[in-house]
Amino acid sequence: SQQGEEDPQALSIQEGENATMNCSYKTSINNLQWYRQNSGRGLVHLILIRSNEREKHSGRLRVTLDTSKKSSSLLITASRAADTASYFCATPLIGTDKLIFGTGTRLQVFP
């Protein structure tokens, strides 16, 4: 079953602007992860935030987690054309071997 849903489904911005993507999930989690996928390629892990954390930074990435609302956001600051990709949130189902992915946000950054 689908665990996460990203919003928006697609986002187009100009270089230098910030991009914000949101993820909602359904069940209790111990962490939430964000991945990036270039077209037709494999997924690359970007950042992990634990359930007891509210915010985490990595370079130009900022992730927030609100467990009361079962939601997370990924902010990419000062975007670049090379950030063009699909971004997915993913949550491990506790007690299982499953990492369940959301539907993804397609980000297009125009030079």
Partner 1 sequence: ETGVTQTPRHLVMGMTNKKSLKCEQHLGHNAMYWYKQSAKKPLELMFVYNFKEQTENNSVPSRFSPECPNSSHLFLHLHTLQPEDSALYLCASSQGPDSNTGELFFGEGSRLTVL
Residue 31 interacts with partner 1 (CB under 8 A): yes or no:
yes
Q: Which is nearer to partner 1, 8 or 16 (CB)?
A: 8
Nearer to partner 1, 7 or 17 (CB): 7
Region of 19-27, 36-44, 60-68, 74-82 interacting with partner 1 (CB under 8 A): 36-44
Residue 71 or 102: the one with the smaller Cβ distance to partner 1 is 102
Which one among 41, 54, 57, 80 touches partner 1, defined by CB under 8 A? 41
SS (H, E, C) the chain: CCCEEEECCEEEEECCCCEEEEEEECCCCCEEEEEEECCCCCEEEEEEEECCCCEEEECCEEEEEECCCCEEEEEECCCCHHHCEEEEEEEECCCCCCEEECCCEEEEEEC
Among 52, 59, 69, 97, binds partner 1 (CB under 8 A): 97
- Please tell me whether residue 61 binds partner 1 under the rule CB under 8 A: no
